Amino acid sequence: MRDVYVVGVGMTDYYRKSPIPGADLGRKAILYALRDAGITPQQVQSVYQGEMPGLSGSICFGQRVACTMGMGGVSIMNVESACSSGALAVNLAMKDVANGVTDISMAVGVQNISAARTAGTAFSPDANDPEGIQGITMPGIYAMRAKRYMHEFGATPEDLAKVAVKNRRHAMNNPRSQFHEPITVEQIVNARSISDPLTLLMSCPNVDAGAAVILTTKEKAMQLGSKLVKILASEVTSGIFTNGFRDMTSMEITVRGSKEAYEIAGVGPEDIDMVECHDAFAINEHLYTEAMGFCGHGEAVEFIRSGGNDYGGKVVFSPRGGLMSCGHPTGCTGAAQVVEATWQLRNEAGAMQIPDCKVALTHVTGGGIYGLDNAVCTIHILSR
Amino acid sequence: MTEKTEQVIFHPDFFKIPEDGSKPYLVESKCRGCGKLWFPKLPICPACLSETFDDTPMERVGKLYSYTVMYIPQPGLKAPLAIGYVDFSNGVRVGAQIDVLPEKIQIGMDLQVESGVIREDKTGKQTISYVFREVSEGGK
């Protein structure tokens, strides 16, 4: 296995409603990443396209995008596992370079949700799922986690709101975010209820975006004069089926996935400076600070109250504003997180910059499937 | 409109509504290969890949593990809609709609399996399945 480095990244803005079609979001992200790497499209030897299927309006979406960007004639694959799609693309591109199949590979994540879905509806498991037919939604699943967590550990709606306030404050430093107005705990707890105890302002907005990541070997990265950003771990795992009693306050797939990722990377939570996590709802940072080992089970209430997950704390969660305030372009998110982490590690994150950021972790899960904690969990650990 | 509303019973293989008027119940499936208990019934045992099961009625009452009241439910369903996970003594957790006033729902409360309309499509076709209600006399 060869070491793999990020040599080019590119990302569009995050739009509530994209002014351009989904394919163009992909093309722009690719263009920015190629420019960033200083390579031609003909140097890219394989492309993986992550997208939640059909939502961007095309089958063979990756070929539609990449072949019009000078990359026709190489292996191009479309990959899907809900919100993890873009992160899976990064994982596959990484494997090509690591295994010597290619010297340069590209991962793209794109989602143009606004073109495909009606505003004001909730993502849901499909009706073939025994819980899907009962009407469960993704916000509903996270709301049940929140309800149980609050019941067991004494977290309040204000504790959840505090995470949303922080992530909005972070998003205000992010020129790509569409959300630049500060919000207060009071506004958040009094906002319209989506799925009790989660309000609208405790839920991530769906947005449209494209992101691209180009990976290569250390030798090539040095030839190209890139600031070195190494992928220490690229972990993909799936849920374990059970219809027995599952502790909904302990995110099994993330506990297991992060443990494996730390082992591969040879680092621990104490080494991580920043995390982009799957903060689709305000309860998630409580669940994931614990699942990733930044504090013990049940200790996130105090950890977050004392600012342990903020600038100046133990680790900065969601420096770009996270899914909560930057937005969640589902199939794009996993790739977008790697782009943001790369900027932080290169010291190019502008007003969002975490001082002396050495190691970053990106985390995205995906898919509500009955019997599974989540369908998929993807974790990347990167270092400068 | 004297015509009877069209109704579909969702998964009659693991949710039974006896014709004699006795109470509806869920069915657990015990794998003949490894003895593991599953609900709802799967065609192949996830633990040992056996394809044969013994079906047994489950107890009708369990304890509410967690719940939510959805104000933005799936398209076509009416809000507010309560849904939750109920833990049964056989070790199985079941997720379903809760037909109880939202302010009366509490984690840890006993709920029992009943039948109810869980969705209705545009043509008025109803899907009947299991729902959770408060425990009535003789529920167990």
Provide, as residue numbers in chain B, all residues whose Cβ is less than 8 Å from the Cβ of A195: 68-72
Domain total of chain A: 2
Task: Note whether residue A126 is domain-resident.
Answer: no
DSSP B80-114: SEEEEEEE-TTS-EEEEEB-S-GGG--TT-EEEEE
How close A135 comes to chain B (CA, Å)? Answer: 6
Catalytic residue numbers of A read 83
Other Cβ atoms less than 10 A from the Cβ of A310: the count is: 20
How, if at all, do strands B15-16 and B25-31 pair? antiparallel
Claim to verify: residue A323 and residue A353 sit in the same structural domain: yes
Domain hosting residue A172, numbered range: 138-203+233-383
pLDDT of residue A126: 78
Quick one: pLDDT band at residue B139, thresholds 50, 70, 90? very low
Q: Does A248 touch chain B (CB under 8 A)?
A: yes
Average pLDDT of chain A to the nearest whole number:
95
Task: Note whether residue A129 is domain-resident.
Answer: no
Task: Note whether residue A315 is domain-resident.
Answer: yes
- Taken in order of first residue, the domains within chain B and their CATH numbers are 7-134 (2.40.50)
How close A298 comes to chain B (CA, Å)? Answer: 17
Claim to verify: residue A264 and residue A167 sit in the same structural domain: yes
Top residue of A131, A136, A203 to mutate, by most chain B CBs within 10 Å, is A136
DSSP A20-70: S-HHHHHHHHHHHHHHHHT--GGG--EEEEE--TTTTS-SSHHHHHHGGGT
Provide, as residue numbers in chain B, all residues whose Cβ is less than 8 Å from the Cβ of A155: none
Claim to verify: residue A294 and residue A328 sit in the same structural domain: yes
Average pLDDT of chain B to the nearest whole number:
91
CA dist A66 and A26 (Å) reads 8
Claim to verify: residue A362 and residue A302 sit in the same structural domain: yes
Quick one: pLDDT band at residue B8, thresholds 50, 70, 90? confident
Kindly report, residue by residue over B24-78, the tens digit of the pLDDT.
999 999 999 999 999 988 899 999 999 999 999 999 999 999 999 999 988 888 9
Provide, as residue numbers in chain A, all residues whose Cβ is less than 8 Å from the Cβ of B15: none
Q: What is the ipTM of this complex?
A: 0.93
Which tokens hold the place of A84?
A: 């993890």
Top residue of A195, A246, A287 to mutate, by most chain B CBs within 10 Å, is A195
Q: What is the pTM of this model?
A: 0.95
Claim to verify: residue A320 and residue A347 sit in the same structural domain: yes
Claim to verify: residue A159 and residue A213 sit in the same structural domain: no
Q: Pick from A366, A75, A18: which is nearest to A210 by CA?
A: A18
Task: Note whether residue A133 is domain-resident.
Answer: no
Once rounded to an integer, what is the mean pLDDT over residues B69-95? 94
DSSP A224-283: TTPPPEEEEEEEEEE-----S---TTS-HHHHHHHHHHHHHHT--GGG--EEE---SBTT
Task: Note whether residue A317 is domain-resident.
Answer: yes
Claim to verify: residue A106 and residue A146 sit in the same structural domain: no
Domain harbouring A60, CATH code? 3.40.47.10
Q: Which residues have C-beta within 8 Å of that of residue A19, sequence separation ≥ 6?
A: none
pLDDT of residue A57: 67
Q: Evaluate if residue B1 carries a pLDDT over 70.
A: no
Q: Does A22 touch chain B (CB under 8 A)?
A: no
Claim to verify: residue A102 and residue A152 sit in the same structural domain: no
Claim to verify: residue A304 and residue A372 sit in the same structural domain: yes
Q: Evaluate if residue B140 carries a pLDDT over 50.
A: no
pLDDT of residue A367: 87
Percentage of residues of chain B with pLDDT beyond 70? 94
Claim to verify: residue A310 and residue A178 sit in the same structural domain: yes
Contact criterion met (CB < 8 Å) for B95 and A194: no
Q: Which residues of chain A have pLDDT under 50?
A: none
Claim to verify: residue A169 and residue A221 sit in the same structural domain: no
